[in-house]
Amino acid sequence: MSLAEKILNGDVRSAARLMRDIDDGMASATAELKTLYPHTGKAFIIGITGPPGAGKSTLTDKVIEAYRKKDKTVAVVAIDPTSPFTGGAILGDRIRMNRHASDDGVFIRSLGTRGHLGGLSNSTNDIVNVFDAMGWEIIIVETVGVGQDEVDIVRTAHTSIVVSVPGLGDDIQAIKAGILEIGDVFVVNKADRPDADRTVRDLEVMIEMNHPPEGEWWPPVIKTVAARHDGIDELIEKIEAHRNYLIQSGKLARFEENKSATHFTELLKDGLFRQVYTRLHADDRLARTIQAIAKREVDPYSAVEEILKHNLK
């Protein structure tokens, strides 16, 4: 059996091996991803992002616990800074979530950024697809600590949680430029600190200034003390409310198309993007291909190969 077939049968070791090959950029991983892609699109993906020191890993740990109490399987892609010595991930996130190591309903994979900007690793989306095809119900992507414009998570997660803490001085200013626009739920963690209420008010004012249109999702601001589990139940309620909003409003299908467009484009860049993109845009083939990918009629890897074959002599 191929790695992909074993993964579809629930083999955790095969999944770990393929994830390693993906992160190492092994060409053989693409064939396995092609097989897995038609089986994706079922998991609910939660992104957790915010500045360094906001308590993202502790919050992630509590969200895992909450969904396990609901009997949901949970996979985590934890993006860590890259070690300057080994090139691998500095496994701070896995250490903080270590208590879930013996739970068969939890799978935690740490990735190093390897110099990639945007808060994610280059291989994040492919590894999310491996988890998705394998049947994990909830996939949490925790980004490395981010600043103003590292907002790649919005193209990966159905629900993006932006974590802040009081007392970081200009941390509210830091999220104005980019992260404010991508948050579906805002969390003020470590809310037992002074000025927590002020941080909440500042966020609510900025959301009000952004003023989502009538009928659109209005991002809530929640106070938590993740280390004590305070506010976690309310956070889960808001995550599920946003999930229901996406489904009922039809925005989930639009998100999948946008996500497919982004993934396809990144692969296309790897395949001599500059030489073929103009031609694809000119004859409308790009839009048709993206629609086919979003409907799972074709996987993005085969689509790129077909386009390259017809456009490169």
Pair (114, 263) in one structural domain: no
Element (H, E) at 164: strand 159-164
- Residue 240's domain is classified under what CATH number? 3.40.50.300
Pair (217, 97) in one structural domain: yes
Q: pLDDT at position 23, please? A: 87
- Containing domain of residue 45, as a range? 40-249
Pair (184, 281) in one structural domain: no
Rounded Cα gap, residues 141 and 118, in angstroms? 13
Q: What is the largest CA-CA distance in the chain?
A: 65
Pair (4, 75) in one structural domain: no
Pair (257, 277) in one structural domain: yes
Pair (57, 135) in one structural domain: yes
Rounded Cα gap, residues 189 and 226, in angstroms? 7
206-240 confidence digits (pLDDT tens): 888 877 778 899 999 999 999 999 999 999 999 99
Q: Is the pLDDT of residue 149 over 70?
A: no
Pair (300, 182) in one structural domain: no
Q: pLDDT at position 212, please? A: 74
Best mean pLDDT range from 61-75, 138-152, 261-275: 61-75
Query: Of the given ranges (98-107, 209-218, 230-239, 265-274), which has the lowest mean pLDDT?
Result: 265-274
Rounded Cα gap, residues 32 and 176, in angstroms? 40
Which residues lie closer than 8 Å to 138 by C-beta, 6 or more apart? 43, 44, 46, 67, 72, 73, 74, 75
Domain boundary among 230, 249, 268: 249
Element (H, E) at 20: helix 12-23
- Regarding beta strands 221-223 and 44-49, do their DSSP bridges make them parallel or antiparallel, or are they unpaired? unpaired
Query: Of the given ranges (87-91, 148-152, 258-262), which has the lowest mean pLDDT?
Result: 87-91
Phi, psi of 44 (to 5 degrees): -100, 125
Q: Is the pLDDT of residue 116 over 60?
A: no
Helix, strand, coil percentages (3-state) for the chain, rounded to 5, are 55, 15, 35
Q: Is the pLDDT of residue 133 over 90?
A: yes
Pair (61, 149) in one structural domain: yes
Domain boundary among 249, 278, 294: 249
Q: pLDDT at position 89, please? A: 46
Domain boundary among 249, 272, 298: 249
Mean predicted confidence (pLDDT) in 280-295: 89
Mean predicted confidence (pLDDT) in 299-310: 89
What confidence tier does 123 reach under pLDDT thresholds 50, 70, 90? confident
Q: What angle do CA 162, 165, 166 make, to 5 degrees?
A: 140
Q: pLDDT at position 255, please? A: 93
> How many CA atoms does the CB half-sphere of 222 hold within 13 Å?
26
Q: Give, as one character, the DSSP assignment of residue 114.
A: T
Pair (70, 112) in one structural domain: yes
Q: Is the pLDDT of residue 179 over 80?
A: no
Pair (117, 257) in one structural domain: no
Query: Of the given ranges (20-34, 94-108, 110-124), which has the lowest mean pLDDT?
Result: 110-124
Under 8 Å between Cβ of 89 and 111: yes
Q: Which of 218, 303, 292 is nearest to 257 (CA)?
A: 292
Rounded Cα gap, residues 8 and 143, in angstroms? 27
Element (H, E) at 102: none
Under 8 Å between Cβ of 48 and 141: yes
Query: Of the given ranges (42-56, 118-132, 140-154, 247-261), which has the lowest mean pLDDT?
Result: 140-154
Q: pLDDT at position 214, please? A: 82
Phi, psi of 218 (to 5 degrees): -105, 115
Rounded Cα gap, residues 300 and 261, in angstroms? 9
Q: How many domains does the chain have?
A: 3
Pair (116, 144) in one structural domain: yes
Residue type (1 letter), 143 = T
Question: What is the percentage of the chain residues whose pLDDT exceeds 70?
Answer: 84
Residue type (1 letter), 217 = W
Identify the three-state secondary structure at position 79. Answer: strand
Predicted TM-score (pTM) of the model is 0.83
Mean predicted confidence (pLDDT) in 111-125: 63
Phi, psi of 94 (to 5 degrees): -65, -35
What confidence tier does 303 reach under pLDDT thresholds 50, 70, 90? very high
Pair (31, 44) in one structural domain: no
- Can you give the length of the chain in residues? 313
More confident residue, 89 or 249: 249
Q: Is the pLDDT of residue 282 over 90?
A: no
Q: pLDDT at position 24, please? A: 86
